[in-house]
Amino acid sequence: MDLQKIYATRFIEEALPAKNEIWKVICTDFFSQFVPKTATVVDMGAGYCEFINNIDCERKIAIDLNPDVKKFAHPDVEVINESCLSIQSLTDNSVDIVFMSNFLEHLLNKQQVFETLQESKRIINHSGKLLILQPNIRFLPNHYWDFFDHHTPLSDRSLVEALETLDMKIVKCYPRFLPYTTKSKLPKGRFFVKLYLRLPWLWPLFGKQAFIVAEKR
């Protein structure tokens, strides 16, 4: 499967600036509460680097097998083209935060998902956190499969179970957080994104993605 061709078809590069503006707001107004400014942060499956480019922290690392990631990463982002199953460039307990967004469903099976979570735990230091933004199949029984490279069905409940099996402490779990895609008909301007994040009662109405924060004991 040629992922570069799939992503080039799915994500029109001209639309990336608008998408990036949305991520700026989400990082500043929401994700920043979990990320100290002094932290070393890894973006697992970084893709177009929307998160790692916009989060405020001391050291930024993007991990992705796709060599095109270097084209999208800002100059202050270190890019590692290695598998999420074996990150040889990072030692045990060497980072504060591992973030992943819309990534685990692309892995081939649940064994790979578990090994990725396990590898993430290995590189996180004591009391470090794993942040997962993930399409929730409980609320997307059909649309979850609209993308050709979605292989593994995951819900907030199955992810929590896997994390607890790894002895991770669940700090936050929002089964419904963000809408499934930025291609939805919902307003996407900065004002509307800020408003949505500040009104959690809207999340159960429109949220199709889960957000989970797990801490390494």
* Res 141: pLDDT: 85
Mean pLDDT of 61-78: 95
- Would the pLDDT of 3 be above 60? no
Q: How many helices (H) and strands (E) does the chain have?
A: 8, 7
Q: What is the pLDDT of residue 199?
A: 96
Place of tokens 């499956």: 45
pLDDT-derived band of residue 147, with 50, 70 and 90 as boundaries?
Answer: confident
Average pLDDT, the chain: 91
Q: What number of other Cβ atoms are within 10 A of residue 72's Cβ?
A: 21
pLDDT in tens, 94-128: 999 999 999 999 999 999 999 999 999 999 999 99
pTM of the model: 0.91
* Reported confidence tier of residue 183, pLDDT bands at 50, 70, 90: low
Pairing of the two strands 168-174 and 209-216:
antiparallel
- Domain topology for 3-216: Rossmann fold (3.40.50)
Amino acid, single-letter form, for residue 208? K
User: How many residues make up the chain in this entry?
Assistant: 217
pLDDT at position 5:
55
How many Å apart are CA 28 and CA 55, to the nearest integer?
7
Residue 126: predicted pLDDT:
94
Share of the chain above pLDDT 90, in %: 79
